[in-house]
Amino acid sequence: MKTILIVIAVVFAGTAYYFYDGKTTAENALESKVDFISKEKEKEVAQLKGTYNEFADRLKKEIAQGQIKIIQLSDRLSVIMVDKILFPSGEAEITPEGLIVLERIGDVLKNSKNKTIRVEGHTDNVQITKQLKKKYATNWELSTARATNVVRFLQENIGIEATLLQPIGMSEYHPVASNETPDGRSQNRRIEIALLP
């Protein structure tokens, strides 16, 4: 009887140790994975900080004039340009001055590896004039055409891989300021280039 109790105790202890050890291994694996993801995220944020600094250096004049803003939020970096730096009023063709600015932006974007580059076109809430309606029925079409032209320039002239580019027309529906004032409407008419993980 004593032998049976000893055998049962040994089996029970072995089983308990097995499950305890399994749990510890699973916990260790989870901790390793969390640690790896944390380090990768830190690297990604540091890389974006470098890209931010490069944009800030190359676009000093435009930033000082209030034509461009650069915003970094965690693992997302955005370059926001007022529309007048790239396009004539109510048009989607990029101006010669805009091409020069986009070229400098594109040179920085080209070095950003494994990032999705989303180009958003935004407008104010002023409706398209009768004269422009033949070309752009609404602000949807205008914002989409502008985003598409920026993407085409980045692909065709800068050499950014097409699979990394996304043109998106946002129309008037994501304002950053009030459309009640000329200054607010000017801020809402913009192109936003976002680097996404």
**Count of H helices and E strands in the chain?**
5, 5
Phi, psi of 79, rounded to the nearest 5 degrees: -110, 120
Three-class secondary structure of residue 46 per DSSP: helix
pLDDT value of position 167: 98
Cβ contact 94:86 at 8 Å = yes
115 within a domain of the structure (yes/no)? yes
Q: pLDDT tens-digit profile of 136-158?
A: 999 999 999 999 999 999 999 99
2 within a domain of the structure (yes/no)? no
74 within a domain of the structure (yes/no)? yes
Q: Identify the CATH number of the domain in which residue 54 sits.
A: 3.30.1330.60
Structural domain boundaries, residue 166? 38-196
28 within a domain of the structure (yes/no)? no
27 within a domain of the structure (yes/no)? no
Give the chain's domain count: 1
For residues 175 and 34, which has the higher predicted lDDT (pLDDT)? Answer: 175
Q: pLDDT tens-digit profile of 102-147?
A: 999 999 999 888 899 999 999 999 999 999 999 999 999 999 999 9
For residues 54 and 44, which has the higher predicted lDDT (pLDDT)? Answer: 54
Cβ contact 177:188 at 8 Å = yes
How far apart are alpha carbons 46 and 38 in whole angstroms? Answer: 12
Q: What separation in angstroms does the CA of 15 have from each of 2, 11, 18, 29, 33?
A: 20, 6, 5, 21, 27
85 within a domain of the structure (yes/no)? yes
8 within a domain of the structure (yes/no)? no
Mean pLDDT of 149-174: 97
Mean pLDDT of 172-192: 95
Three-class secondary structure of residue 74 per DSSP: coil
29 within a domain of the structure (yes/no)? no
Q: Count Cα neighbours of 97 within 13 Å in the Cβ-side half-sphere.
A: 9
